[in-house]
């Protein structure tokens, strides 16, 4: 009984979160697009752009963490969820590598648009897959589905 | 393994569950624990105070007014206590005679 309750608690930290909706892939895509664009700016403007991008990203992450109410430890996530996280990290690394190649061979605008588009798609797929994996983890653990996180 | 190894503070399932949540996150907010462990504000407050007092968790307040939030974090002592308590419970479960055995003994 106590162990069942503990197991449920350990799982819900990772599976219950407020759905950020389209803001998540759009925000990630925008971030990925602005990053190479900032590199194209001259000297001080580039530094200022990175500071602004970093500050906005920090504020948005803080707002989301406050809404979620927990900062789960990814290392302790159920393996099904961890696998999704590893896949998206690999996808982001592949996008970064591709963006670097594009940066060296084409214009900053093409790099920026390609990075934004690819990141948007990768994040959208990740969000859907993660949500599905979270539902499966809960169902396998016999946790009743939640109407609204 | 005996009953002595069971931590009396974690004997309450809800308190054990709360520490389980804390062990799986770097920071957890009061409202998350309340909503997902089906506890009232006062009950959770009481349970968490006991854990903070026992040095199983630390508490941190952020924001002001309506945006004031209370965050909890598990301590090293809390993590040890949880590990030991779960090991004790599992050992007791393993030692427990099955239902047919109990029937046979009576």
pLDDT in tens, chain A (149 residues): 788 889 999 999 999 999 989 999 999 999 999 999 998 898 899 999 999 999 999 999 999 999 999 999 999 999 999 999 999 999 999 999 999 999 999 999 999 999 999 999 999 999 999 999 999 999 998 887 654 44
Say if the ipTM goes beyond 0.85.
no
Q: How far is A55 from chain B (nearest CA, A)?
A: 19
What's the domain count of chain A? 1
- Inside any domain, residue A102: yes
Instruction: List the structure tokens of A106.
Output: 């084409």
User: Is any Cβ of chain B less than 8 angstroms from the Cβ of A20?
Assistant: no
A3 contacts on B by Cβ (under 8 Å): 86, 89-90, 93
Range of the domain at A129: 2-139
Integer CA distances (angstroms), B96 to A2, A66, A124, B84, in order = 15, 43, 48, 18
B18 contacts on A by Cβ (under 8 Å): 9
At CB < 8 Å, which residues of chain B contact A?
Answer: 11, 13-14, 16-18, 20-21, 23-29, 31-32, 35-37, 69, 86, 89-90, 93
- Inside any domain, residue A34: yes
- Inside any domain, residue A49: yes
- Inside any domain, residue A78: yes
A2 contacts on B by Cβ (under 8 Å): 11, 13, 16, 89
- Inside any domain, residue A116: yes
Let me know: does B32 contact B21? Beta carbons within 8 Å: yes
What predicted TM-score, i.e. pTM, was given to this entire model?
A: 0.85
User: Residue length, chain B?
Assistant: 106
- DSSP assignment string, chain B: --GGGS-GGG-SHHHHHHHHHHHTEEEEEHHHHHHHTT--HHHHHHHHHHHHHTTSEEEEEES-GGG-EEEEEE-HHHHHHHHHHHHHHHHHHHHSPPHHHHHHH-
pLDDT in tens, B19-36: 999 999 999 999 999 999
Interchain proximity B36–A16, CB inside 8 Å: yes
Residue A83, C-beta contacts closer than 8 angstroms, at least 6 positions apart: A133
- Inside any domain, residue A13: yes
In sequence order, the β-bridge partners of residue A72 are B25
- Inside any domain, residue A98: yes
Dist CA A56 CA B17 (whole Å): 35
- Inside any domain, residue A145: no
Domains of chain B: 3-95 (1.10.10.10)
């Amino acid at each position: 009984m106590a162990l069942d309750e503990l197991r449920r608690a350990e799982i819900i930290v990772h599976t219950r979160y407020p759905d950020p909706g389209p803001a998540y892939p759009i925000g990630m895509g925008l971030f990925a697009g602005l990053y190479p664009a900032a590199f194209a700016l001259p000297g001080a403007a580039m530094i200022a752009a990175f500071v602004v991008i970093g500050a906005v990203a920090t504020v948005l992450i803080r707002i989301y963490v406050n809404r979620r109410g927990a900062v789960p430890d990814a290392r302790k996530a159920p393996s099904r969820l961890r696998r999704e996280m590893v896949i998206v990290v690999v996808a982001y690394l592949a996008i970064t590598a591709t963006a670097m190649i594009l940066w060296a061979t084409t214009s900053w605008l093409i790099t920026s648009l390609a990075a934004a588009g690819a990141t948007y798609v990768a994040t959208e797929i990740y969000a859907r897959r993660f949500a599905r994996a979270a539902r499966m983890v809960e169902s396998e653990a016999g946790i009743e589905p939640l109407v609204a996180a | 393994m005996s009953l002595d190894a069971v931590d009396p503070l974690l004997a309450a399932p809800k308190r054990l569950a709360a520490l389980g949540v804390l062990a799986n996150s770097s920071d957890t907010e009061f409202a998350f624990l309340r909503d997902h462990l089906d506890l009232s504000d006062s009950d959770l407050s009481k349970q968490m105070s006991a854990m903070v007092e026992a040095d199983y968790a630390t508490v941190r307040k952020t924001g002001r007014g309506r945006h004031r939030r209370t965050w909890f974090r598990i301590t090293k002592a809390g993590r040890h206590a949880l590990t030991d308590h779960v090991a004790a419970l599992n050992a007791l479960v393993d030692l427990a005679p099955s239902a047919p055995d109990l029937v046979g003994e009576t």
